[in-house]
Every structure is written in C-alpha cells, then in structure tokens.
C-alpha cells in the first residue's frame, strides 16, 4: 500500500539505533522538580530557530495550551479565536471559557472581521487575545500575522499562534525558486514578522518527527508561563527519547533540512501539475494536498477507489463547509515514482 497519510513531512522516523543513548527514559519526576539533561539547550535552539527570545518544552501542544489558558489571561480580557482554529488549541481556549473569559469567533484569517469585533468590544475595556493557526493546510495560506498584530497593537493585546504545521517546513526568505524558504523556523520566519506580542506553540511531531512541543515568546513571558504551569507539576515531562529525537531532528535540519524541503516542494509541484487538467487541488504548495469530490465522484468514493488501487489517503472534513475531502500528505520519503502513481490513481479514479 502506497501511504499518503503520514505528516512526517521531512521523512524523519528516528529509529532507536540512530538516537543518542539515554540512561533512563524518564526520571519519574515532573518538570517542576527535574530538568532532563539537554532540555535547556534544546529549548534555546528552538527559540532561535523560531525567532523567539526564549522557549519552554512540553510533552504535547495539548499540555501547553492547557497550561496557557488554565490561568491566563488574567484580569479583564477577551479571546478572539479564528473560526477554523485547530481542535487542540480550541480545547485550551475552552479552559479559559470555563473561567468565564469571553470568547468570540472571527472569520477564518479575516483581519477585518477581527478588527470589527475588537472595535465593537472596545467599550468593555478588555485586553484582546487572538488565537489562530500559523498556517492552514486546508486553504494553503499563512495567517495574516502582521494584520492581526495591527488589530491589537494599540490595546496591548496578545497573538497566540499554533504553528505546528509550519515548523520544520516554512522558513525565512521564500521565493519562486525556494517556495518553503530556508531554515524551517515556521510562519513567523516565513513572513519575516517579529513582535513581543506573539506567543507561539508548536508540536515537533510532524516535520521534525519528535513527540514533544515547544512554547515560545518573550523571555519574561516564558519564565512566567513555567512558573504558572500546572502540567509541569502534575504531569510527566517529555521523555529522554523524545528530547534526543528532537536534538537529532535539529541537527538534520541544520545540515540537510533545506535540501530536503526543496525536494519536497518539487514533489508537491509535480503532483499538482500532473492532475491540473482534471482536478483542482487545495493546499497551495504545502505538502498537505486535498481535493473535494470531483464532478460526479464524491470524496468518499474517490478515497475508496484510491484504496482499491493500493493508495492510502485521508478522508478529511472541510472546516468551512463541513463537506468531506480527500487529503494526501506528501513527505520526503516519497519518490517521484510514488507521486506519479498517486497522480495516475487520482485521474483513473475520477473517470
């Protein structure tokens, strides 16, 4: 079965033999009591990669979003969440809502919609906290971070970005020749945006293939976040294996990341070109491509026909319409031959 269901975009699997050895998988202590060797340097390296002053590590984005919104924002604040925000971030926002923090939804990546809501609420005297994904694979667009910042600049608000999709894929200085940019630092680097009002939460489990997450922001905010964190007291930290996998991923990124991303972008371009005469793929040039049902072939039928041809894809739900679509995740482990077979399978399935 030819598999297009994995989000390991750079093709990193981190088998045990390839990782730096560890004496114990875990210390049996929460992060508040024990700092795993290598964790501070890994956090610092990730902060530099993402363009943040400082960073903190967690077992997952769920842990980090829970911690962020369980006790923050304090005082008078309103959360403005993108209508198509990924579920993990929504679960965090739900913690704040349970503390009676008002939550508003604005149209997906629509700065005018956000600005209108903030102006409408201005008389309430609450600080705005905007929450959005850094990159949306569904529409193939990056968040308009500069426009979002403009909406909150004058009222001292915050912008919280879930950059899980972009970390390890997008980077600084994108161009027609290098569509993903360089370095893999994520959406802020890709858009060349810096601000002390931005908080970034990202998983390393996709492009970097390491099951842990990073929280980035100003040094003072990160220190305060760790001080307030409940999961650092009541939950286990990321394991030694996960930390060592992240170390290896960043080493790979330094030496071969840009070359790998360039190959990946070429695979995506080839797929889009091969099916362009018959199918409109969504996702831009990001390695998550998708197609709704084509003419008389519903998405469910399309996926079933691809499966019959020994091609595994993902049945997704379009967040805007609720309709199913067929998702295809490309990684650097795929070959040109794999992509050509996928394209041929799609064209045959819609006949």
* Position 295 pLDDT exceeds 70: no
Residues 179 and 287 in one domain: no
Shared domain for 155 and 97, answered yes or no, is: yes
> With bands split at pLDDT 50, 70 and 90, how would you rate the model's confidence at 351?
confident
Q: What is the pTM of this model?
A: 0.96
Q: Is residue 12 part of a domain?
A: no
pLDDT in tens, 259-275: 999 999 999 999 999 99
Residues 202 and 54 grouped into a single domain = yes
Domain that holds residue 288: 2-7+257-349
Give the model confidence (pLDDT) of 51-100 as tens digits: 999 999 999 999 999 999 998 987 789 999 999 999 999 999 999 999 99
Calpha distance 284→269 (Å, rounded): 9
Q: Are residues 163 and 266 in the same domain?
A: no
292 and 155 belong to one structural domain: no
Do 295 and 230 share a structural domain?
no
pLDDT score, position 293:
65
Same domain, 209 and 290: no
Q: What is the pLDDT of residue 212?
A: 97
Residue 158 and residue 74 share a domain? yes
Are residues 298 and 220 part of one domain?
no
- Which tens digits make up the pLDDT trace of 94-121? 999 999 999 999 999 999 999 999 999 9
């Amino acid at each position: 079965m030819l598999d297009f269901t994995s989000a390991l975009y750079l093709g990193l699997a981190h088998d045990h033999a390839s990782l730096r050895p560890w004496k114990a998988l875990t210390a049996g202590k929460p992060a508040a009591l024990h700092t795993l060797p290598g964790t501070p340097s890994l956090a610092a390296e990730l902060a530099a990669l993402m363009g943040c002053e400082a960073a903190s590590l967690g077992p997952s984005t769920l842990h980090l979003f829970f911690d962020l919104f369980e006790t923050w924002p304090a005082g008078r604040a309103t959360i403005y969440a993108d209508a198509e925000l990924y579920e993990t971030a929504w679960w965090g926002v739900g913690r704040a809502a349970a503390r009676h923090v008002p939550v508003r939804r604005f149209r997906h990546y629509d700065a005018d919609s956000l600005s209108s809501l903030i102006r409408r609420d201005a008389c309430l005297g609450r600080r705005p906290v905007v929450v959005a994904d850094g990159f949306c694979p569904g529409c193939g667009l990056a968040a308009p971070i500069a426009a979002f910042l403009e909406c909150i600049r004058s009222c001292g608000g915050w912008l919280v970005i879930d950059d899980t999709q972009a970390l390890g894929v997008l980077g600084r200085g994108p161009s027609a020749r290098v569509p993903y940019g360089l370095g893999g630092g994520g959406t802020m680097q890709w858009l060349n945006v810096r601000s002390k009002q931005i908080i970034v939460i990202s998983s390393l489990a996709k492009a970097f293939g390491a099951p842990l997450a990073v929280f980035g922001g100003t040094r003072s905010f990160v220190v305060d976040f760790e001080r307030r964190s409940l999961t650092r007291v009541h939950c286990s930290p990321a394991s030694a294996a996960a930390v060592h996998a992240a170390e290896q991923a960043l080493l790979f990124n330094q030496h071969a990341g840009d070359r790998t991303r360039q190959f990946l972008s070429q695979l995506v371009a080839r797929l889009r070109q091969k099916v362009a005469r018959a199918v409109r793929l969504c996702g831009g040039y990001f390695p998550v491509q998708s197609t709704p049902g084509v003419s008389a072939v519903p998405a469910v039928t399309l996926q079933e026909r691809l499966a019959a041809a020994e091609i595994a894809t993902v049945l997704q739900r379009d967040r805007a319409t609720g309709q199913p679509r067929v998702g295809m995740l490309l990684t650097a482990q795929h070959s040109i031959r794999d992509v050509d077979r996928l394209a041929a399978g799609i064209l045959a399935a819609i006949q």
